[in-house]
Amino acid sequence: MSELNLEQAQTMVAAALAHARANAMNPLAVCVLDARGALKAFAAEDGTSLNRADIARGKANGALALGMGSRSLLKRAKDQPYFISAATAAIGGSLIPVPGGVLIRSGEGKIIGVVGISGDTSDNDEACAVAGITAAGHLPDPGAD
């Protein structure tokens, strides 16, 4: 089955937060979008800063917009900062090119959604997204350096 449902999305949020708590990370904002880019599930740990959710969503939006995990967007931002800047404007203002926006792929490799996380280091944010997607039985695609 190739669609993301609410139960799976909520499992991803819960598992991502559990991973962060088990590793004593900073408070995270965790956002799950479906394949259309529509918000499916979200939670902000107590103590997150005012716009932390917007950063998490920006990682998710960017990954889905260009069809690659946001770690690949970071590489592109270093190589061609003008492209990332222009793409951000073109898609409407929300594309955060650092790790932590991880595509959700079905068994056949189809993109069925994305998890975006912000609050700790980018590497830790990404690790929580991977843990969440894996816990729900899907394949995480964080992109590559």
Q: By C-alpha distance, which of 113, 143, 116 is closest to 128?
A: 116
Least separation in angstroms between residue 120's CB and a second copy is: 12
Dihedral (CA of 91, 93, 98, 103) sign = negative
Total of chain residues touching a second copy, rule CB under 8 A: 56
Structure tokens at 119: 């609050």
Q: What distance in Å separates the CA atoms of residue 27 and residue 24, rounded to the nearest whole number? A: 9
C-alpha of 130 from chain center: 9
What's the min distance (Å) between Cβ of 130 and a second copy? 20
When the beta carbons of 23 and 51 are compared against a second copy, the nearer one is: 51
Q: Build a one-symbol-per-residue string for 89-128: x at contacts with a second copy by CB under 8 A, - elsewhere.
A: xxxxxxxxxx------------x-----------------
Q: How far is the CB of 127 from a second copy (least distance, A)?
A: 19
